[in-house]
Structure 1
Amino acid sequence: MKRKIFTPRPDWQIEHHNIGFDYFNLPSADGSIYWSEGMAYEFTLQQIEQLEDAANELHQMCLHVVGDLILRGNYPDYFQLPNAAIPHIEQSWRENSAMLYGRFDFAYNGSQIKMLEYNADTPTGLLEASVAQWLWIEQVSGIANRDQFNSIHEDLIKRWKTILPRGSHLHFAACQEAGREDWGNLEYLMDTAYQANLQVSELSMENIGWDGNNFVDLKQRPIQNLFKLYPWEWIFEEAFAAHLSPRTQWIEPCWKMLLSNKAILVELWKRYPQHPLLLETHAFDPQQQPRTGKWVKKPILAREGANIHLLENGQDMGAASGSFYFDDYDKSGYVVQKWVDTPLFAGQLPTLGLWMVGHHCAGLSIREDCYDIIGNDAHFAAHYFVE
């Protein structure tokens, strides 16, 4: 794995705007912007195959854990699941309700892979991972025998066709006050569904109504199928939860609550101790004997690197660099995960995102930053591999 510098493409900003990637220039803490145009990470084909195999193996391990939890009806307290959610989790699993996509975050040094977490419910960064970096590799010059691990766009279209019959109406929703990144991802997913011959429409979660029998949109049309870029745990804090029924198919399905919760990392370690792809992870208990060595304390329900602290030999060393604090993410408990070093490239620490579409890995994306934690304003970097 190498970090390479390239000449920026002519009119690359226009290229981004043309595909709806109009948030490429969101500001970063170091004074630059979200998209890193003049650089990319280079891999070998063997490394790409290693990463792909790891993501597929981890996904199957996760599904096994979820299936086992549901079969036994045993949900450890550290998942902090709302009681009202459990019947819906179990029903959606038993009905084999289809998932669309997810993203693993990996630490990688060119040979050793360690899973950091699984963004299984509301991952973003999809448009840049699928279309924007593919355009980059098509247009950049000076790389012989290049390719990119990226079939995300085509695989999303194929996946929609397996989830819903041709011509089905699918609503897409996100929080009204969500940023441009969330709405850009939502609109991109709408486009892939449209290319899969589905009828699509968009609304905010706040504008979903209830007519006494069905969820409805602003035109009072029943919402039969809903993709929501909105966390399940928020749904169970709101009025939606009282009206959940089989009349609406939710994407992602409710069983994804178990995968998107960082407590799944604890269960993975219990079932696969010392697995080479896993980092040792335990539920955080402030009364427990301090653990030796370096650890990170992560909230079980959080996004964009929030509320992460470093622990050394049981001492809280404070917030990890790049993390921030948000009250809501402090409510549901924490896990502690063994620290893993990642290689430094020109002052940047990369985290690899491995994208699952359905049950197969479909591509790779990279976020990098000078901080320990990849937060909301970290940089997106394209990648390629050479044979």
Structure 2
Amino acid sequence: MKRVILPKRTQWEKEHQKIGFDYFNLPSEDGSIYWSEGVAYEFHLTHIEQLEDAANELHQMCLDLVQDMITRGNYPAYFQLPNAAISCIEHTWKTNAPMLYGRFDVAYDGHNIKMLEYNADTPTGLLEASVAQWLWLEQVSSIPHRDQFNHIHEALIERWQTLYSPNTTIHFAACQSAGREDWGNLEYLMDTAFQAGLNVSELSMDNIGWNHQHFVDLNHQVIQHLFKLYPWEWIWEENFSKYIQPPHMQWIEPCWKMLLSNKALLVSLWQRFPNHPLLLETHAYHPQHSYAGKWVRKPILAREGANIHILQDSIDRGKASGSFYFKDYDKHGYVAQRWVDTPLHQGMLPTLGLWMVGHQCKGMSIREDACTIIGNDAHFVPHYFIE
């Protein structure tokens, strides 16, 4: 695994625009933009096989944990689950409500893989992972005998076809005030569903109505299947929670994903699979506990590296570089995860995203930064592998 500098493509900005990747130039604090053109990470096939196997194993470990929690009705307090959500979690799991996709974020040094978290409910970065970096691979001619771990696009189309009959209508929704990145990802997923032979309709979460029996869109059409790029914990805090009772509507992702999209998952995984080579030691954070060595304190419900602090021998060393503060993420509690050292590549720290479609890993993406952790300001970098 190495970071390489390559020639930039001619008119590469226009190539992004052609595929709807119009947020490639979101500015970063260092003066650069989100997409890093002219940079890539090189892997060998053996690396890819190792990463793919690890993601599939981690996903199965997560499913085993969910099955055990629901079978025993044991939902630890550190998950901070709303009581009203538990019946929905259990119902969707027991009725096999299907998942569409998810993304493991892992640290990798070329040998050891460590799970950092599972973005199982609302992962973004999908358009650039599936289409943009594949287009880059096709257009960069200076890399002989190269391939890419990227079957995401085809797998999404196949997954939609597995889940729904042709011409089924799927509504797609995100927060009205969300940025272009969220809406770009939503529109890409709509396109994959359309290519799978489904009917698609777009609206904001704010414009979902209730007709006293069903959720409806602005045309008063009943919403039977809703893909929401909107966190489940927000849904339970809002008026939606009054009406979420089966069988009104199928939600994608299903409610049982609340057990996986919560960083409290990391605590339960470590308890169930102690010292597993793919896991980092993680505990529910308590200020009075002793944490020898270096740790990171993470909020259980947060995104884009928010509110992460470094702990050294139980002393809070302050916010990690690359993190930012958002008040709402403070209210649900924290986990303490043991620090993992990974090598810098030309001064940059890469974090790998391993994409699950259904229950199989179908691709990889990379974000990098010069900071301590990968946060909202990190850069997307394409990859390739050689045999």
Q: Shorter chain as normaliser: what TM range? A: over 0.9
SS in 1 for 2:85: helix
Paired with 1:326 and 1:174, the residues of 2 have a C-alpha distance of 20
What residue is the counterpart of 1:154 in the other structure?
154
SS in 2 for 1:134: helix
What residue is the counterpart of 1:243 in the other structure?
243
Equivalent position amino acid for 2:65 in 1: V
Q: Which runs of 5+ in 1 are unaligned?
A: none
1:305-316 alignment, distance < 5 Å: 305-316=305-316
What residue is the counterpart of 2:186 in the other structure?
186
1:106 touches 1:352 (CA, 8 Å); kept in 2? yes
What residue is the counterpart of 1:253 in the other structure?
254
Offset of 1:244 from its aligned partner?
1.1
SS in 1 for 2:259: helix
1:26 touches 1:377 (CA, 8 Å); kept in 2? no
SS in 1 for 2:162: helix
2:106 touches 2:353 (CA, 8 Å); kept in 1? yes
Paired with 1:317 and 1:285, the residues of 2 have a C-alpha distance of 16
TM-score normalised by length of structure 2: 0.99
1:10-25 alignment, distance < 5 Å: 10-25=10-25
2:107 touches 2:115 (CA, 8 Å); kept in 1? yes
Offset of 1:79 from its aligned partner?
0.1
Paired with 1:308 and 1:155, the residues of 2 have a C-alpha distance of 33
Offset of 1:237 from its aligned partner?
0.2
What residue is the counterpart of 1:280 in the other structure?
281
What residue is the counterpart of 1:266 in the other structure?
267
What residue is the counterpart of 2:227 in the other structure?
227
1:331-342 alignment, distance < 5 Å: 331-342=331-342
Offset of 1:269 from its aligned partner?
0.3
Paired with 2:111 and 2:144, the residues of 1 have a C-alpha distance of 23
SS in 2 for 1:343: coil
2:282 touches 2:336 (CA, 8 Å); kept in 1? yes
1:86-125 alignment, distance < 5 Å: 86-125=86-125
Equivalent position amino acid for 2:277 in 1: P
Paired with 1:247 and 1:210, the residues of 2 have a C-alpha distance of 11
Paired with 2:317 and 2:253, the residues of 1 have a C-alpha distance of 36
SS in 1 for 2:255: coil
Paired with 2:165 and 2:254, the residues of 1 have a C-alpha distance of 17
SS in 2 for 1:277: coil
What residue is the counterpart of 1:137 in the other structure?
137
Task: Report whether the alignment pairs 1:34 with 2:34.
Answer: yes
Offset of 1:162 from its aligned partner?
1.3
Equivalent position amino acid for 1:312 in 2: Q
SS in 2 for 1:184: helix
Offset of 1:342 from its aligned partner?
1.5
Equivalent position amino acid for 1:57 in 2: E
Paired with 1:222 and 1:342, the residues of 2 have a C-alpha distance of 49
Offset of 1:141 from its aligned partner?
1.5
Paired with 1:285 and 1:33, the residues of 2 have a C-alpha distance of 38
Paired with 1:122 and 1:132, the residues of 2 have a C-alpha distance of 20
Paired with 2:377 and 2:182, the residues of 1 have a C-alpha distance of 14
Q: CA RMSD in A?
A: 0.5
SS in 2 for 1:273: coil
SS in 1 for 2:382: strand
Aligned length: 386
* CA displacement, residues 186-213 of structure 1 (integer Å, 9 cap, x when unaligned): 0000000000100001000000000000
Offset of 1:165 from its aligned partner?
1.3
Offset of 1:375 from its aligned partner?
1.1
Q: Which runs of 5+ in 2 are unaligned?
A: none
What residue is the counterpart of 1:127 in the other structure?
127
SS in 1 for 2:351: strand
* CA displacement, residues 296-338 of structure 1 (integer Å, 9 cap, x when unaligned): 0000000000000000001000000111110100000000000
Paired with 2:86 and 2:365, the residues of 1 have a C-alpha distance of 33
Equivalent position amino acid for 2:359 in 1: H
Offset of 1:287 from its aligned partner?
2.4
